[in-house]
A and B are shown apart, each in its own frame.
Chain A
């Protein structure tokens, strides 16, 4: 391939960073095309500027929100809720999933609940959760926790069930106890599956963060989208929506590079 041939040359004459930028542009070309189409449709008058504000208007609104501090404050509120809910879900989900895989009693008790709860849309619980926990942070964190919990449980359970039994036998014949097998063998062996489940949960946490803040919140990005929309400030509303998308994208990429670092033992195969 041409790109392969060019890389070493670029490294020598210092054009490496330029090439990296070009590669990045090529990779995200579809996004650029979408933005261009967006702008053209807006200008052509096919759709009113109200419904689909131009990229320039959105960018201006974004800068305004950034300068006023509104965006940062609300993003911080939202992300701390998402992180708390997700973090709790990972801890609890991993434990429950591993225990389900290794303790038949736990499996019998919890498996039916997991199967029923997984496909249920968690946002349908918003009114109920509001009654239980009120309008504060707890209700939103609980919803995010619940939504993120199930993919983590299921992935930990499947991962642990799929562990090569000979690896477990090797560990026991080297003197590992039942607890040690669970913590030192089954957990790391199931980690690729668990981390894939966590990545799904990460996306769920963003979705639930915004949708719960729509309904029950006095701050946060979801609240901001709702109130800007209600006030008819569509450029600003789009700016916040795109901020959520961008933040979610960055979070996913960061998590992805954490995963490939953590699972570097897999890659050389």
Chain B
């Protein structure tokens, strides 16, 4: 294949063990999933809850082992978590006993960089996410939006090839969410990366992504793939763009189909 792929997912199935151990029938979360994500593409994974989109993200992250099929990046097959694939979680997952600066410095220290350099790089990323002045604050002193900015800075600071985002704005209020979406897209333009962005918000996916994969109800597969074709610039005017509105409706219908199937599946 071409050398410019970001993430290659081939024939990945994943079953969670039942509560009773090996005797019980496991839940099949993913079934024969194939997906090719391009280098430096902003890719959204969209689907009804329980469709296995987070599972797919955790598999790419290496947090849970691949059972069948294979996942590879430019660095080879994924076997364990690593700083080349950094992740941002919905609940921020900052280290609460560390200040913002210490949080952002953590990954840099793990790379073995000298302390002064860690500090400089961390400061630059805190500035990038517009948290300057809050370096010495603890996460508990920050609002949800600010905590998520800090988490994004911590993740970007280690300069990963791939940025994994697990419903990162799901816990934020609507206004903060909108602001964070615009800023994320802006940051991504300045620092291009392969992004896999999991969400169940159709408009968020359309606004942010270059390409959207819609997953089927459990067991999850990639059901549809759609190029948004909205171009690199996304801002307030994108929201009223005719293509944005049409895409939103078209994708909403596709997601709704799967959501209905999921609810009939008696989950």
Residues of A within 8 A of B (CB): 164, 166-167, 169-176, 180, 185, 188-189, 191, 263-269
A269 touches B140 (CB 8 A): yes
B85 touches A173 (CB 8 A): yes
Q: What are 25 A-B pairs at a CB distance below 8 A?
A: A169-B63, A170-B94, A170-B151, A171-B106, A172-B63, A172-B80, A172-B81, A173-B61, A173-B63, A174-B106, A174-B155, A174-B158, A175-B82, A175-B110, A175-B158, A176-B106, A180-B110, A189-B95, A189-B96, A191-B97, A263-B97, A264-B138, A265-B97, A266-B140, A267-B140
- B93: interface (CB < 8 Å): yes
A140 to chain B, nearest CB (A): 36
CB nearest neighbor in A for B111? A175
Cα distance A264–B255 in the bound complex, in angstroms: 45
B148 to chain A, nearest CB (A): 13
- B154: interface (CB < 8 Å): yes
Which B residues are CB-close (under 8 A) to A167?
Answer: 93-95
Cα distance A172–B164 in the bound complex, in angstroms: 14
A135 to chain B, nearest CB (A): 45
A173 touches B82 (CB 8 A): yes
Residues of B within 8 A of A (CB): 61-63, 80-83, 85-87, 89, 91, 93-98, 106-107, 110-111, 138-141, 151, 154-155, 158, 164
Cα distance A269–B106 in the bound complex, in angstroms: 22
A266 touches B87 (CB 8 A): no
A174 touches B86 (CB 8 A): yes
A95 to chain B, nearest CB (A): 20
12 more contacts with CB within 8 A, not counting A173-B83, A174-B110, A176-B110, are A166-B89, A169-B63, A169-B81, A169-B87, A170-B95, A170-B151, A173-B62, A173-B82, A174-B83, A174-B107, A174-B158, A264-B138
Instruction: Given the known inter-chain contacts A166-B89, A169-B93, A170-B89, please indicate yes or no for A175 contacting B140, CB distance below 8 A.
Output: no
Which B residues are CB-close (under 8 A) to A180?
Answer: 110
Cα distance A176–B85 in the bound complex, in angstroms: 13
Cα distance A267–B97 in the bound complex, in angstroms: 11
- Of A166, A167, A173, A263, the most chain B CB neighbours within 10 A belong to A173
Which A residues are CB-close (under 8 A) to B107?
Answer: 174-175
A131 to chain B, nearest CB (A): 45
Which A residues are CB-close (under 8 A) to B95?
Answer: 167, 170-171, 185, 188-189
Tell me which of A164, A174, A185, A188 contacts B154 (CB under 8 A). Answer: A174
B61 touches A169 (CB 8 A): yes
B87 touches A170 (CB 8 A): yes
CB nearest neighbor in B for A167? B93
Which A residues are CB-close (under 8 A) to B139?
Answer: 265
A175 to chain B, nearest CB (A): 4
Instruction: Given the known inter-chain contacts A174-B86, A175-B111, please indicate yes or no for A266 contacting B96, CB distance below 8 A.
Output: yes
A177 to chain B, nearest CB (A): 8
Instruction: Given the known inter-chain contacts A169-B61, A175-B110, A268-B138, please indicate yes or no for A188 contacting B97, CB distance below 8 A.
Output: yes
Which A residues are CB-close (under 8 A) to B140?
Answer: 265-269
CB nearest neighbor in A for B92? A166
Which A residues are CB-close (under 8 A) to B87?
Answer: 169-170, 173
Cα distance A173–B111 in the bound complex, in angstroms: 12
The 6 closest A-B pairs by CB, nearest first: A174-B107, A175-B110, A166-B93, A175-B83, A172-B81, A269-B140
Which B residues are CB-close (under 8 A) to A173?
Answer: 61-63, 81-83, 85-87, 164
A66 to chain B, nearest CB (A): 42
A267 to chain B, nearest CB (A): 8
Cα distance A188–B106 in the bound complex, in angstroms: 14
Which B residues are CB-close (under 8 A) to A265?
Answer: 96-98, 138-140
CB nearest neighbor in A for B164? A173
A166 touches B91 (CB 8 A): yes
Cα distance A169–B164 in the bound complex, in angstroms: 12
